[in-house]
Amino acid sequence: MSAFAKINLTLEVLGLRGDGLHEVATVLQTIDLADGLRFRHAEAMSLRCRGMPRTPDNLILRAANLLRDAVGVSEGASIHCAKRIPLSAGLGGGSADAAATLKALSRLWGIGQDEERLDELAARLGADVPYALRGGTALATGNGRTLEWLPDASRHWVVLVPLHADDPAKTAEMYRCLLPSDMTDGTLARRQAAAITAGAVDYGCVRSAFLRAAEVRWPEVSRALDALLVAAACAATLSGAGPSVFGLYRTRVAALEGMRAVRGEGLPARLCRFVVPADAW
């Protein structure tokens, strides 16, 4: 099974909620960079993951054990993950792996695909996991778990500069770095959602609340954004809380030229495209 990465076409932070979480408004989009997962029947639970350390808080194991406990399954599973989405990169790789685990083990253990039950379990694992269960294009609001599914965004090619942070607590730290001037009222995300519903992507709304803080923390972010814009990206910004950066292109030819130009600046770059739920599952 493939667990697909996501980018944030628009990401706004509105402020701090009474529950201590931040209010956000973000438009999420699945891209075709994916981890590969295999699941087999086994008496015990085991995980082999190339490219990622096996730790007790690993989201794959957390998702598997959460589902097993919730439905009372006695058997385990042998899980193998080939990690291709960089860790702590702003691309939702851990959330995608957790969502794929919930879906795959529901099938493997023959316990059905009750969407409401899976959504509830996914929400307990992280803000992006309910979105990753389905993928595609969505507007997420509130604490990130309130989802409004949008029509499939018009197909675009993506030049992704996949940077990663060494600190697994990077997202919480990035929230602490936000200034009042980084926070907005959600208008851009809703405008982006309206544009996508009308069949377009609003390049003027391709923004991230974390961009200023990310440019301070990771010098490569500014270099990557400059390179993408010089390489004729329709728009470019940070994904998630960073540090990965992406640029949007209308055609594969233009995106290939952009990728080569970014690599020519000494930065990592790869070609991706938007995928929709039918592609993903």
The token duo for 139 is: 């507007």
Do 273 and 160 share a domain, yes or no?
Answer: yes
Q: Which of 6, 35, 103, 152 is catalytic?
A: 6
The structural domain count of the chain equals 2
Sign of the dihedral through C-alpha 135, 71, 105, 171: positive
Angle at 2 between CA 106 and CA 210, to 5 degrees: 105
Sign of the dihedral through C-alpha 172, 176, 179, 184: positive
**The CATH number of the domain where 274 resides is what?**
3.30.70.890
**pLDDT higher than 60, residue 236:** yes
Look at residues 135, 169, 188 and tell me which one is the last residue of a structural domain.
135
The token duo for 164 is: 């990663």
Do 150 and 273 share a domain, yes or no?
Answer: yes
Do 275 and 156 share a domain, yes or no?
Answer: yes
**The CATH number of the domain where 124 resides is what?**
3.30.230.10
Which range marks the domain in which residue 48 is found? 32-135
Residues in the chain: 281
Q: Which of 35, 97, 128, 202 is catalytic?
A: 128
pLDDT digits (tens, 9 = 90+) for 118-177: 999 999 999 899 999 999 999 999 989 899 999 999 999 999 999 988 887 889 999 999
Look at residues 115, 135, 155 and tell me which one is the last residue of a structural domain.
135
Q: Is residue 23 part of a domain?
A: no
Q: Is 6 a catalytic residue?
A: yes
Model pTM? 0.93
Confidence label for 279 from pLDDT (cuts 50, 70 and 90): low
Q: Is residue 89 part of a domain?
A: yes
The token duo for 157 is: 């090619």
